[in-house]
Amino acid sequence: MRIVFLLYMCMLAPEIGFGQSFTFSGTVKNEEGNALPFVSISLNNTKYETASEADGTFRLLNIPAGNYKLVVSHAGFKTFEKEIKISGSDMVGDLILIADAKDLDTVLIKAEKQSRVQEMRPITISSVEVKNVVSQNVLITDIIDRLSGVRIRRSSSLGEPSDISINGLRGNAVRVYIDGLPMEFIYPNFDISTLPIGNLKRIDVYKGVLPVDVGTDALGGGINLVTEQKSYNSLRASYNVGSYNTHLGDFALGLANKKNYFVHVTGAVNYSDNSYGMDARIFEDGNRIKRIKRFHDQYKIFFGGVTVGTHSKLWADELKFSVNVSGGNKELQNGARVSGTAFGEARYKAENLTAVLKYEKSFWKQRALFSTAANYSNQTLNYVDTTRNVYSWSGKVIGRKQSPGEYYEANSDTYIHGWINRSSFTFKISPDHKLLFSNLYARQKLTGIDYLEADPMQDYLRIPQYLAKNVAGAQYEGLFLNRLTFSAAIKRYDYMLDGAENNTFELVKKKDGIWGWNTAMKYDIAEGIFTRASVEKGYLIPQFAQFVGNGADIVRNTDLLPESSDNLNIGVVISKPVSKILNIATNINGFYRSQHDIIFIGNGVIRRYDNADQVRTLGVEGDLALTFKNAFSLKTNLTFLRKTFTKMKLAESQFLVGTDFPNNPNFYGNSEFSWQKQGLLKTDDRFRAYLFYNYIAPFNHITVGKGNSIKNTPEAYVPVQHRLDAGFSYKFAERGLTASLNVINVFNAKLFDNYLVPRAGTNFNVKLIYEVSGF
């Protein structure tokens, strides 16, 4: 049977029942008794909906007592409807769907997914259901980098940091969140690419405005990683093996009982030699360029976690406590750029312990919802860089330095303690109007030991440093005339710095607060067609090191101001069937960013961070998705933007006004063509094959004047890049097993990213995913 999932718009839950919530579960099968996966199960005119698992089982959670209409629908089958009464946590018998032969190829089932709900909001969001792309992608950043308006620049070295750009805003201006909590306080020195992909349910990319219950001091965009927490028995495990001795494995085991208590155990291990080939100048061979394999670039990390909790209780919709441990190490091969010599000994090691307590409860017949999450993290970062050896890209020692250190001399431990609490309260004034209040408090304590400093009294790392942020917000959202959705929010940003300047050890204290705001509107022109617009005044609080310096050539500046940005998004979305066998979806979004008080570091011998330049970004992004007979799919997106300097503080930099901001691609796009076939070997098996193409136009990786171009100064530009990937996957439904093969950079094109650092040539990976539930 062919399965077609398109759109199903959930309505607001009616005011039914009061008090205790219950669970409704069962199994969906066909007339032959075979389990049916991906069946849409919902309670009519409520928010309660789900889809059946691979074994046909389903669960609807946190349902108030009352009378409902159960609706079960699936492409090629007659819709099943039945009046039911919820008065306890019930498990129904098998639900049997009857085949409807005449509609087998043409029935369109509207099954709304949460990612689709996100993308239909007044603010601009791209949302991805991870289970749909996990067999094709290895890293979280691989998934995000395929979205319009988003560029993630990183080398092919696993464990290297990622430079994230959303609609032209990049670096610290883009915040990453895990279930709404800021990642920089949970995993201070971990990169988003290092987090395991297997435990994620959804990735939401906010392009501009962030809701008050997610955002903090993001300047103009954010990424929220939504983890998956199943409250029934389930097991998921995956293993990936790839080129350069790369291995990635993860598992998630969930166990639950009839009293709604559950335990969830997860684990992940990543390892790579990162020994991909690249062109480099070999010093001992007359500085001639040769093809070499990267050395001293090994990376490994592990994650482990346990969650215990309960749900659907009179006193809690959900209560859970999680403990996660992680650790790993990375050998450093080069800095931000590839220079004449390589790093051969510098390395770092990190260990992290995180504990999270989350509580959620609805009140007043589901009209009010209170949720709170508290997090504590303790991380140790060990960095060693003491060698005097100078290494060639061949891996040979070619000399000795007068002073130690390949990047900068260090042998230190840094201890980072973080505390976070986010509490939110949502109140439905009526089915079409609601208020949201949220407050996030985050605090970090930084201490450490410098093993190269003989006198503890002269060890700056031993002085406790504190940085605290509090971001409070209130947001209103309402629906008018069944067509116009309007939202508005106000935010208060407060921060406090308490520590010492790292040259003089002089005590430093700074406290300040600012107001921000945003508003958004969405107008439904017709079914599946709407326009939307949003405006925001966003702020970015400086980092701790930008306030106090680095203890060497960068001095303190406690007068530093937060960066700000005026953000505007306006766009149109079309998503509707053209016919019974063809569906089209397109999204065109224009954006404007005006950044002020950009934090800038000078070029003198003694430097400090200052508020200096102003930058403007204008751009447009668009994507198009075509689906034919639920078999052939074409997805493509393009982004064009121009990010230029509009004001420079330094007199000697005035020539840069009007020029392109460096290391910022201006034109790029992706296209993916896929074909899938259900029942290739057995009825519910699924085969999928794809081709993926990525294009990036040339861009300057350093500052250039108005007269510069790739023709007259090619060394200042990253050349045009064409990349083609290909792969296929096969899902054995009865066995719960999915196998995939992916070939990256099929034609071995020369690729670069982030300050002209080379990326890998043709490489392969094979992935196995095993899933089972309901045992």
Q: How far does the chain reach from its first CA to its final CA, in angstroms?
A: 26
Q: Which CATH number belongs to the domain containing residue 121 in this structure?
A: 2.170.130.10
Residue 172 and residue 221 in contact, taking contact as beta carbons nearer than 8 Å:
no
Q: Which residue(s) pair with 322 in the sheet? A: 307, 356
Q: How far apart are CA 606 and CA 130, in angstroms?
A: 47
Would you list the DSSP string of 183-239? HHHHSTT--GGGS-STTEEEEEEESS---TTT-SS-SS-EEEEEE---SS-EEEEEE
Q: Which CATH number belongs to the domain containing residue 71 in this structure?
A: 2.60.40.4130
Last residue of a domain, one of 97, 112, 127: 112
Q: Which residues contact 451 (CB under 8 A, 6 or more apart)?
A: 411, 412, 413
Q: Does residue 368 sit in the same domain as residue 258?
A: yes
Q: Domain for residue 252, yes or no?
A: yes
**pLDDT, block means (10 residues), the chain with 775 residues:** 28 35 81 72 79 75 81 76 76 72 32 63 86 85 89 86 86 88 88 87 89 86 86 87 95 88 94 94 89 94 94 88 95 82 92 96 87 96 94 93 88 94 94 94 93 89 91 95 93 91 80 93 90 93 74 68 91 85 90 87 64 88 90 94 86 82 90 90 87 94 85 91 95 88 96 85 95 79
- Residue 525: CB atoms within 10 A of its CB come to 12
Collapsing DSSP states into helix, strand and coil, what is residue 97? coil
Q: How far apart are CA 590 and CA 734, in angstroms?
A: 46
Which pLDDT does position 91 carry in this prediction?
61
Q: Which residue(s) pair with 386 in the sheet? A: none
Q: How far apart are CA 463 and CA 412, in angstroms?
A: 14
Q: Does residue 551 sit in the same domain as residue 601?
A: yes
Q: Does residue 94 sit in the same domain as residue 125?
A: no
Burial class of residue 753 (count of CB atoms within 10 Å of its CB; 0-12, 13-18, 19+): buried
Q: Does residue 246 sit in the same domain as residue 220?
A: no
Q: What is the DSSP letter of 432?
A: T
H/E element, 546: helix 544-548
Q: Torsions phi, psi of 101, nearest 5?
A: -60, -40
Q: How far apart are CA 417 and CA 324, in angstroms?
A: 15
Q: Does residue 65 sit in the same domain as residue 146?
A: no
Q: How far apart are CA 727 and CA 742, in angstroms?
A: 4
Residue 610 and residue 597 in contact, taking contact as beta carbons nearer than 8 Å:
no
Q: Does residue 240 sit in the same domain as residue 211?
A: no
Which pLDDT does position 74 carry in this prediction?
75
Give Cα 409 distance to the centre of its chain: 33
Q: Domain for residue 15, yes or no?
A: no
Residue burial 290-316, b: 16+ Cβ < 10 Å; e: rest = eebebbbbbbbbebebebebbbbbeeb
Total domains in the chain come to 3
Residue 27 and residue 56 in contact, taking contact as beta carbons nearer than 8 Å:
yes
Q: Does residue 239 sit in the same domain as residue 200?
A: no
- Residue 509: CB atoms within 10 A of its CB come to 11
- Residue 284: CB atoms within 10 A of its CB come to 12
| Token pair of 626 as six digits | 């075509």
Q: Which CATH number belongs to the domain containing residue 724 in this structure?
A: 2.40.170.20
> Which own/partner pairs from 180-183 qualify as long-range (CB within 8 Å, at least 24 positions apart)?
180/213, 180/214, 180/224, 180/373, 180/422, 181/356, 181/373, 181/375, 181/420, 181/422, 181/440, 182/216, 182/420, 182/440, 182/442, 183/225
H/E element, 528: none
Q: What's the domain range around 42?
A: 21-112
Q: Does residue 87 sit in the same domain as residue 137?
A: no
For the chain, what is the largest distance between any 2 Cα atoms, rounded to a whole number of angstroms? 84
Q: Domain for residue 14, yes or no?
A: no
Q: Domain for residue 6, yes or no?
A: no
Q: Does residue 45 sit in the same domain as residue 150?
A: no
Which pLDDT does position 607 carry in this prediction?
67
| Token pair of 396 as six digits | 């040979």
Q: Does residue 156 sit in the same domain as residue 271?
A: no
Burial class of residue 482 (count of CB atoms within 10 Å of its CB; 0-12, 13-18, 19+): exposed
Q: How far apart are CA 300 and CA 271, in angstroms?
A: 4
Measuring CA to CA, which residue among 123, 12, 117, 115 is closest to residue 521? 123
Residue pointed to by tokens 């309670």: 43
Last residue of a domain, one of 112, 133, 158: 112
Residue 701 and residue 755 in contact, taking contact as beta carbons nearer than 8 Å:
yes
Which stretches does DSSP call E strand in 284-339?
288-293, 299-313, 316-331
Q: Does residue 215 sit in the same domain as residue 250?
A: no
Q: Does residue 273 sit in the same domain as residue 164?
A: no
Q: Domain for residue 7, yes or no?
A: no
Give Cα 597 distance to the centre of its chain: 27
Q: Domain for residue 653, yes or no?
A: yes
Which pLDDT does position 735 carry in this prediction?
81
Task: Please give the radius of gyration of the chain, using alpha carbons only, rounded to the nearest integer.
Answer: 27
Query: At CA 111, angle to CA 37 and CA 481, rounded to 5?
Result: 165
The β-bridge relationship of strands 299-313 and 288-293 is: unpaired
Handedness of CA 593, 191, 358, 267 (dihedral sign): positive
Q: How far apart are CA 533 and CA 656, in angstroms?
A: 32
The β-bridge relationship of strands 163-166 and 465-480 is: unpaired
Burial class of residue 652 (count of CB atoms within 10 Å of its CB; 0-12, 13-18, 19+): exposed
Q: Torsions phi, psi of 769, nearest 5?
A: -125, 130
Which pLDDT does position 340 carry in this prediction?
76
Residue 30 and residue 36 in contact, taking contact as beta carbons nearer than 8 Å:
yes
Q: How far apart are CA 186 and CA 216, in angstroms?
A: 14
Q: How far apart are CA 657 and CA 613, in angstroms?
A: 10
Residue 738 and residue 768 in contact, taking contact as beta carbons nearer than 8 Å:
yes
Which pLDDT does position 128 carry in this prediction?
87
Q: How far apart are CA 343 and CA 407, in angstroms?
A: 8
Q: Domain for residue 10, yes or no?
A: no
What CA dihedral angle connects 40, 46, 47 and 53, to 10 degrees? -20
Q: Domain for residue 222, yes or no?
A: yes
Q: Which residues contact 598 (CB under 8 A, 6 or more apart)?
A: 563, 611, 612, 613, 614, 615
Which pLDDT does position 287 carry in this prediction?
87
The β-bridge relationship of strands 169-170 and 163-166 is: antiparallel
Last residue of a domain, one of 54, 83, 112: 112
Q: Which residue(s) pair with 96 in the sheet? A: 29
